[in-house]
Amino acid sequence: MTVYAKTNPIGIDKKLLKIQNKLSELTWDNFDVYGKLYINQKNGEKIAEAFVGDGEYREVLIDDTKTAVFGFFIGDNRGGLNMIRVPVELVCSCRLDKIDDENERNDEEVLLTVLKKIKRETGLLEPQEREIKTGLSNVFNRVSIEKFQYRDMHPWFNFSIAFDLIYKNEI
């Protein structure tokens, strides 16, 4: 398991790192937890890239060697001055057969496990409207998905959890 984060995070990156660290406590093998995902163009396609260190960015969400890959899409509009509110969407693509050896599709168990793990750090304990999406085209509607359409069938499970994240202006 690897958490990819800035060396000295501030603002939203600091808050995301707390959530990343909570996700790293999952008992799954061989998964990655990225911070902010950036939409970029590559060979005419929209891809999601994440910071991996030393000024380098990597395309994420299509790594067949991983049990799961997590990342965060950040909304374009923020509100507040001292306390800043921003819409965030935690996205995950995982292989259910690598998480649990059972022959059943345990997608609901995986989703609820992740929700339970992150709820305190995200403020989901408070009554807050949030949206949970499943399915490749719903979760990754910001990027080109044609080259990995097969990931919308078993054993793959794609989901996102949207919420408003509040963080302190530290500058």
Kindly report the CATH number assigned to the domain that includes residue 160.
3.30.2000
Question: How far apart (Å, rounded) are the C-alpha atoms in residues 18 and 16?
Answer: 5
Could you read off the pLDDT of 1-28 as tens digits, one per residue? 899 998 899 999 999 999 999 999 999 9
For strands 83-95 and 131-134, give the pairing.
Answer: unpaired
30: left (phi over 0), alpha (psi -120 to 50) or beta: left
* 126: confidence class by pLDDT, cuts 50, 70, 90: low
* 123: confidence class by pLDDT, cuts 50, 70, 90: low
Q: What is the pTM of this model?
A: 0.91
At 152 the three-state DSSP class reads: helix
What pLDDT was estimated at residue 25?
A: 94
* 61: confidence class by pLDDT, cuts 50, 70, 90: confident
Question: How far apart (Å, rounded) are the C-alpha atoms in residues 18 and 121?
Answer: 7
Report how many domains make up the chain.
1
| Residue carrying structure tokens 């609820």 | 112
What pLDDT was estimated at residue 26?
A: 95
The partner residues of 46 in beta bridges, in order of sequence, read 41
Whether pLDDT at 127 is above 80: no
Helix 12-23 vs helix 107-122: angle between axes, to the nearest 10 degrees?
140
Whether pLDDT at 88 is above 90: yes
* 90: confidence class by pLDDT, cuts 50, 70, 90: very high
Question: How far apart (Å, rounded) are the C-alpha atoms in residues 70 and 64?
Answer: 13
CB-CB contact of 169 with 81 (8 Å): yes
Residue numbers of the domain that contains 54: 2-168
112: left (phi over 0), alpha (psi -120 to 50) or beta: alpha
What pLDDT was estimated at residue 81?
A: 86
The partner residues of 156 in beta bridges, in order of sequence, read 95
Whether pLDDT at 56 is above 90: no
